[in-house]
Amino acid sequence: MAEIYYDDNADLSIIQGKKVAIIGFGSQGHAHALNLRDSGVEVRVGLREGSTSRAKAEEQGLGTGTVAEVSEWADLIMILTPDQDQRKVYSESIQPNLTEGKALAFAHGFNIRFGYIEVPEGVDVLLIAPKAPGHTVRREYVAGRGIPDIVAVEQDATGGAWDLALSYAKGIGGTRAGVIKTTFTEETETDLFGEQAVLCGGMSHLVQAGFETLAEAGYQPEIAYFEVLHELKLIVDLMHEGGIAKQRWSISDTAEYGDYVSGPRVVTGETKKAMKDILSDIQDGTFAQRFIDDQDKGAPEFTELRETEAKHQIETVGRDLRKMFSWSAQAIDTDYVEGSA
């Protein structure tokens, strides 16, 4: 059974007694920095020279500095830049300031799990990973609620790493909802698998294939969009509330029967075999290496894939149709610009 911690299991005064550097002020960065500050923690934000995020952080009344400056100042350094940039940010600006007794924290275990970042012995290494996009982490905190986090300790140099991780989780509002104990390995491998096989990769390509099948058969693309993409949210909301069982309870008997007989024709034994291959590429580092090698070359493969996928017909059809739904628009990430990929 999972070990779960709540507000009563965490001591906020531990993190309140530390100087915390948040590196990056993006999706997670702004949420961690603002939630901790509002929980009475001393926070500074570390940014690169010329960062467009500096003004945003300062507007919120947060102190800023270069990554090196805030890392030197801090007791705990939370790295919230994109995973592919962390290795460079770490070696250039953080490592030289990582003296014994400090703590280095992450919201995703990628760089530790695959060995791209190696931390000196005397430093605590923590993971506090909220299970939601940063903008939701901030919004829920402000509303007096919290997003569940998963927490792990890779290195407990001071003997206080677990208490520190839980205290940090309390500071960002996580223990209001509940915090589950994990390891860097489990978090990294399951996170990558979930996003690749199901949540992002699996879902995007399932929707595209369904759309293409209807459009190629001569149905109107607008109708195809409604049937395979727009209605997805209604189904996912039901699953989120009460599992697959509640979703099946709510849909028509026709839809439910179709689920049982046709679902296994789409997701077959071969699909499951492909999922196992994806998992083993994650576990043995093949995926990580492919991603990082491409990033190191300036991301040619990533850029090409992003541009090709953004041109899919479902995107142009969707852009126009969503205007009809402006009344229901509930933007989650307010920085997103339509069509920016």
Q: Name the residues that contact Mg ion, by CB under 5 A.
A: 191, 195
Q: Is 69 in the site for ligand NDP (CB under 6 A)?
A: no
Q: Which does 9 bind (CB under 5 to 8 A by kind): ligand NDP, Mg ion, none?
A: none
Q: Is 48 in the site for ligand NDP (CB under 6 A)?
A: yes
Q: Is 26 in the site for ligand NDP (CB under 6 A)?
A: yes
Please identify which residue in 38, 42, 85, 259 interacts with ligand NDP, judged by CB under 6 A.
Answer: 85
Q: Is 147 in the site for ligand NDP (CB under 6 A)?
A: no
Contact status, residue 224 vs residue 217, Cβ threshold 8 Å: no
Whichever of 72 and 215 has its CB closer to ligand NDP, that residue is 72
Whichever of 292 and 314 has its CB closer to ligand NDP, that residue is 292
Q: Is 103 in the site for ligand NDP (CB under 6 A)?
A: no
| Residue ranges in 192-211 that form contacts with ligand NDP under rule CB under 6 A | none
Q: Is 52 in the site for ligand NDP (CB under 6 A)?
A: yes
Q: How far is CA 104 from CA 33, 100, 302, in A?
A: 15, 11, 29
Question: 57 Cβ partners below 8 Å, 6+ apart?
Answer: 25, 30, 33, 45, 47, 64
DSSP state, residue 226: I
Minimum Å gap between C-beta 43 and ligand NDP is 14
Return the structure tokens found at 93. Answer: 């600006």
Annotated active-site residue 108? The verdict is yes
Q: Is 65 in the site for ligand NDP (CB under 6 A)?
A: no
Return the structure tokens found at 35. Answer: 């939630």
Contact status, residue 184 vs residue 116, Cβ threshold 8 Å: no
Which residue number has the CB closest to ligand NDP? 26
Q: Which does 14 bind (CB under 5 to 8 A by kind): Mg ion, ligand NDP, none?
A: none
Q: Is 28 in the site for ligand NDP (CB under 6 A)?
A: yes
Q: Is 67 in the site for ligand NDP (CB under 6 A)?
A: yes
Q: Does residue 315 have a known ligand-binding role? A: no
Minimum Å gap between C-beta 25 and ligand NDP is 4
Q: Is 81 in the site for ligand NDP (CB under 6 A)?
A: yes
Q: Is 96 in the site for ligand NDP (CB under 6 A)?
A: no
For 186, the enclosing helix (H) or strand (E) is helix 184-193
What does residue 335 show for φ and ψ, rounded to 5 degrees? -85, -10
Question: Three-state DSSP class for 15?
Answer: helix
Q: Is 148 in the site for ligand NDP (CB under 6 A)?
A: no
Catalytic one of 32, 108, 135, 205: 108
Q: Which residues of 170-188 are buried (b: 16+ CB within 10 A; e: fewer)?
A: bbbbbbbbbbbbbebeebb
Q: Which does 170 bind (CB under 5 to 8 A by kind): Mg ion, ligand NDP, none?
A: none
Q: Does residue 253 have a known ligand-binding role? A: no
Strand 149-155: give its sheet, edge to edge: 4-5, 179-181, 149-155, 124-130, 103-106, 76-79, 19-23, 42-47, 63-66
Helix ranges restricted to H, 226-299? 232-250, 253-266, 269-283, 286-296
Return the structure tokens found at 201. Answer: 């990769």
CB-based burial label for 131 (10 Å; 0-12, 13-18, 19+): middle
The residues annotated with a catalytic role in the active site are 108
Annotated binding site for substrate: 252
Which positions touch ligand NDP (CB under 6 A)?
Answer: 24-29, 47-48, 51-53, 67, 80-83, 85, 89, 107-108, 129-130, 133-134
Annotated binding site for Mg(2+): 191, 195, 227, 231
